Structure 1
Amino acid sequence: MKKNIYKIVCTIMLLASVQPSCKKNFQEINTNPNTSPDALPQQLLAPALVNTVTVNMLRARTISNELMQTTVSQTDGEGAVFRYDIRPNQADYTWNNWYQQLSNFKDIYTIANQPVNFSKGYQGISLICQSWVYSLITDTYGDVPYFQSNKARDGVFEPAFDRQKDIYLDIFKQLEAANTLLTGAANVVASSDPVFNGNAAQWRKFGNSLYLRLLMRLSGKAEVSADVIAKIKDMIDVNAANYPIMTSNTDAAVLRWTGTGYLTSPFINNVREQDWRAPAMASFFIDNLTKWTDPRLYTQFNGAAGGVWSIATVSGSFVGVPSGYAAGTSPTTKSYFYSTANGPGGKSYESEPLSGNIMNYAELQFLLAEAAAKGYISTGTAQQYYDNGVQNAITFWLPTYFTAPVTLASYETAADIAWNDSLPLDTKMEMIHVQKYYAMFWTDFQQWFEYRRTGHPVLPKGPGLINGGVMPARLNYPVYVQSANPTNYKAAVAIQGADVISTQVWWQRP
């Protein structure tokens, strides 16, 4: 025992005697001279994009798909999203992860603004990505931290919540700045960018297309509609050359899953096989595709083994479950998504390369169709944009579908979805938004956002809905925010309204 104590004391004395020499030149000795002490933009961009799209895909599966009647996760228990029953803790995942990735996107701008790393390309891309993520956050929750968010390193631990109007107006400024930065900007490192392979011009087109998406979201808000509509007209009719937008499916903002390394679909790593195929396909989603004999569903195109969205059937025909069905009735699941193990020819949406959709060309065309139908723009007609949207929503998945004997006209006529300019405006809006609903298949929460904005497409309402049968208008703030940021949380609720899913966000109100 005494020997052990003696050894310990000697060891302590020895360490104390060498401590000064250990401190000498410590930082220089422990710094790798061959690496940068700070992360570079090309190191941050791909992980931030992958992580953001991962969040979007996983929560679209459990929230947007259920609310918007793509799927029905059949249960009579609590927390059935398809019944408009959303648990408070379901709001945490998107809030936490979106804000986390904003730190990375902001760092890209800061680092790319330093003389040694200066890059207008990365700066512009950063502003577009920040605008994209902030729009997701505010459209999901309403008033949120914006101007003071992600500043913990500066000592801001309880950021103020900003009004949605102020957030949107500043996002527009950021997208204007991004358009300027990317004008003639050099491409960025291709390997750092899994969306456009470093192509600055395509990022510029995406940024302006995103700008139009967000402008249209405010176009019906009386408080700002005049300025918003004027900007839409400026971008399309007056100064189109200064605001290039997507011109084809090759410009679509899609994070393509290659199946290799970090570009492996999050469905494979985060969703169990049995959970993947458990939700039934909803009647609304299946019925339209069946009525149109749509190639995205059927197996007829070029002898393909299974429609592009790989939906299985139990009875040999596509039959969905009515969303919002009465509790206790338990409809039989007859159609569901294939999993990797049992998809025809190994085909499954679970590993679909195009499932990482951020914004595609068809969505943009339907935005322009709405703008033309409402008289916001005069360049192009509503029918031209509508037809482009219908065609490219399909060729996004099946590039060569519209070849003889299948033409766009024959498809639209057979499906009874051909444009008719004599129809009332609301009927035109329904036509546009039904098609847009499918174009935005699994695109984060966009189907839900657009339904809240327009009321289209008209969704059937089952007898088992709660929340008064009214589509949820937002997600609640994470519960921990009430204790972590109590003063600003209370101020936000006092201005916006009760922290419940029925409180409308600013742009939803007349």
Structure 2
Amino acid sequence: MLNRIIKYSLLFAFVGLIMAGCKKLDSINHDPTKPTTTEPQYQLTAAEKTVMDMLYSTLQNGYIGMHYAQFWSGNTRVADSQYSLDEGNNGTMWTTLYSAIHNLNYIPALNANKPNVAAQNQNAIAGILKVWIMQILTDTYVNVPYTQAVNVEQYITPAFDDAKTIYSQLADSLSASINALDPAQPTFDDADIIFKGDVAKWKTLGHSLMLRLAIRMADADNAKAKSLIESHYQGAMTSNADNAEFTYLGVDPNRYPMDETNRKITDFFVSTTLVDYMRATNDPRLSIYARPVVGIAPDTIFGMPYGMSTTAANRPLAASYPGTKIYGADMKGILMTYSEVAFTLAEAAAKGYAVGNDAATYYEAGVRASMKYWGITDGVDEYLATVPYTGGEWKNVIGTQKWLSLYPQGFQAWFERIRLNFAKPDGSALFIAPVSGSLDQHVTLVPYRLTYPIAESNANNVNFTAAGSAIGGDNKGTKNWWITY
């Protein structure tokens, strides 16, 4: 049953992909908001799988997300670590995310055209997933098409919406979807790879995503962030049992994207930024996040200095690849885990929000949840004694542990890195600029966004140009609205 769903979902995802790039379509003979040849469950599976496949691909997560989070550095291809953006990878990310949004938009359209007792819950679940995807888009590019992007017939060249306005609309949309979910009504079944149609878990995820949305805007709009977090934290995740993940079966066509079963992935080394900090704090996750260098006695984990050219005279002769679990065929695609929620609430408490517990309690819960996620039971108390919560340095303390807990979620870790601008708990620098220098004239330490795909300049030039001007320049040095430093 699952393989059949995936087969048809991939077909419809391909169709959506063709429609998604905001490109001019010379002939459309039907209303794309009223599809008649598919079913809601296929659209859901297509959206979930295509986004997860892209978010955990070596091309997008590997060369962009994990690099910008400074978890990894390039092996033979170092330019990505120096912020030279591969336009093919960038364009695929944009197109894939919009393709998934089109898939999800079909669900309420299908349900409107055909009686369906599960329509209310199906439409609400689609709404939650659209918020998740749209936040990734606007956090990555700042202003993006939103209100006009849902109808490719009416808006062949959609306008770009203001990022702050998108955030406000996403919060409203997410609230509506959460409120519409009804556990007493039918829903999806196995077509929902994430929760198997469990409405209660989707409601919990909705509340949790609201915390992500709110904390990201906290420095720019503290009052709104406080209101949203205080209103939603009680419905959010409370343990790893609530984690939202896409389960890969470990066999074609449903393998984890960064799977080295058929070929060894040698494109990336773990960075010295990650390895040196984890080793300094005796972090028990290090042996999972990275693997020893084979052939060196004793086998030891070594990082590669971030952004170090292959021609650098002092470049190490060997460095560690990411851990085998991270490259496993059955590794799960993470949408959100409890540890992120716990660290978000730790920060909220540190800011003085009323969230039921103090920052230290949530901080410890976040560390323990991350350890448990990776199967670590020994040495956790000792580790917490090494990295205690200290209120005076809460941004650095929470920031470093939240960053570590987001591995291998490259994009979310990058967003949190540039939002919090944290250092090590003692105040010393954690991140470094590329050792061999940046290849982008607008960026020295870290990009704040991706540039708009080149294809948009051809297909939607007027709006593309206006968007770049509105945000202060279409370059990687332009900060999102929620960055205030």
Q: Normalized against structure 1, the TM-score is what?
A: 0.80
Residue aligned with 2:190, SS: helix
Q: Is the aligned partner of 1:74 residue 2:81?
A: no
Question: CA separation of 1:486/1:509 partners in 2, compared to 1, >3 Å: closer, same or farther?
Answer: farther
For the aligned residues, what is the CA RMSD?
Answer: 2.3
Question: CA separation of 1:378/1:51 partners in 2, compared to 1, >3 Å: closer, same or farther?
Answer: closer
Q: What is the number of residues matched between the two proteins?
A: 434
Q: CA deviation at 1:324?
A: 3.1
Q: Distance in 1 between matches of 2:250 and 2:355?
A: 44
Question: CA separation of 1:378/1:181 partners in 2, compared to 1, >3 Å: closer, same or farther?
Answer: closer
1:309-324 equivalences in 2 (<5 Å): 309=289, 311-314=291-294, 315=296, 316-324=299-307
Aligned to 2:319: 334
Q: Could you tell me whether the CA contact under 8 Å between 1:255 and 1:354 is conserved in 2?
A: no
Residue aligned with 1:263, SS: coil
* Structure 2 counterpart of 1:228, from 225, 229, 235: 225
Letter in 2 for 1:283: T
What are the Cα deviations for residues 120-157 of structure 1, in whole angstroms up to 9, with x where unaligned? 211111001100111111111110100000312x3321
Aligned to 2:250: 259
Q: Could you tell me whether the CA contact under 8 Å between 1:280 and 1:333 is conserved in 2?
A: no
Q: Distance in 2 between matches of 1:122 and 1:192?
A: 11
Q: Distance in 1 between matches of 2:244 and 2:351?
A: 26
Q: Distance in 1 between matches of 2:45 and 2:327?
A: 21
Q: Is the aligned partner of 1:419 residue 2:403?
A: no
Aligned to 2:266: 277
Letter in 2 for 1:328: A
* Structure 2 counterpart of 1:382, from 359, 381, 402: 359
Question: CA separation of 1:360/1:354 partners in 2, compared to 1, >3 Å: closer, same or farther?
Answer: farther
Q: CA deviation at 1:272?
A: 7.1
What are the Cα deviations for residues 187-233 of structure 1, in whole angstroms up to 9, with x where unaligned? 52331111111101101111110111011111101xx3222222222
* Further displaced range: 281-290 or 379-388: 281-290
Q: Could you tell me whether the CA contact under 8 Å between 1:325 and 1:464 is conserved in 2?
A: yes
Aligned to 1:295: 284
Q: CA deviation at 1:185?
A: 4.8
Letter in 2 for 1:318: I
Q: Distance in 1 between matches of 2:346 and 2:328?
A: 32
Residue aligned with 1:460, SS: coil
Q: CA deviation at 1:310?
A: 5.7
What are the Cα deviations for residues 367-387 of structure 1, in whole angstroms up to 9, with x where unaligned? 000010111224101011001
Aligned to 1:363: 340
Q: Could you tell me whether the CA contact under 8 Å between 2:157 and 2:463 is conserved in 1?
A: yes
Q: Is the aligned partner of 1:124 residue 2:135?
A: no
1:76-115 equivalences in 2 (<5 Å): 80-114=79-113
Q: Could you tell me whether the CA contact under 8 Å between 1:66 and 1:72 is conserved in 2?
A: yes
Q: Distance in 1 between matches of 2:236 and 2:355?
A: 17
Letter in 2 for 1:319: F
* Further displaced range: 361-370 or 225-234: 225-234
Residue aligned with 1:196, SS: coil
Q: Is the aligned partner of 1:499 residue 2:474?
A: yes
Question: CA separation of 1:95/1:89 partners in 2, compared to 1, >3 Å: closer, same or farther?
Answer: same
* Structure 2 counterpart of 1:441, from 407, 410, 426: 407
Q: Could you tell me whether the CA contact under 8 Å between 1:311 and 1:335 is conserved in 2?
A: yes
Letter in 2 for 1:459: F
Q: Is the aligned partner of 1:452 residue 2:418?
A: yes
Which runs of 4 or more aligned residues in structure 1 lie more than 6 Å from their structure 2 counterparts after TM superposition? none
- Greater fraction helix: 1
Q: Distance in 1 between matches of 2:98 and 2:184?
A: 28
Q: Could you tell me whether the CA contact under 8 Å between 2:121 and 2:182 is conserved in 1?
A: no
Q: Distance in 2 between matches of 1:319 and 1:209?
A: 36
Q: Could you tell me whether the CA contact under 8 Å between 1:84 and 1:465 is conserved in 2?
A: no
Q: Could you tell me whether the CA contact under 8 Å between 2:226 and 2:353 is conserved in 1?
A: yes
Residue aligned with 2:231, SS: helix
What are the Cα deviations for residues 430-478 of structure 1, in whole angstroms up to 9, with x where unaligned? 1111111121112250011111111125313354232452311111111
Aligned to 1:465: 437
Identity of aligned residues (%): 26
Q: Distance in 2 between matches of 1:180 and 1:57?
A: 31
Aligned to 1:150: 150
Structure 2 alignment gaps of length 5 or more: 1-34, 424-429
Q: Distance in 2 between matches of 1:233 and 1:109?
A: 30
Structure 1 alignment gaps of length 5 or more: 1-35, 299-306, 339-346
Q: Could you tell me whether the CA contact under 8 Å between 2:208 and 2:341 is conserved in 1?
A: yes
Q: CA deviation at 1:294?
A: 3.1
Residue aligned with 2:388, SS: coil
Residue aligned with 2:258, SS: helix
Q: Normalized against structure 2, the TM-score is what?
A: 0.84
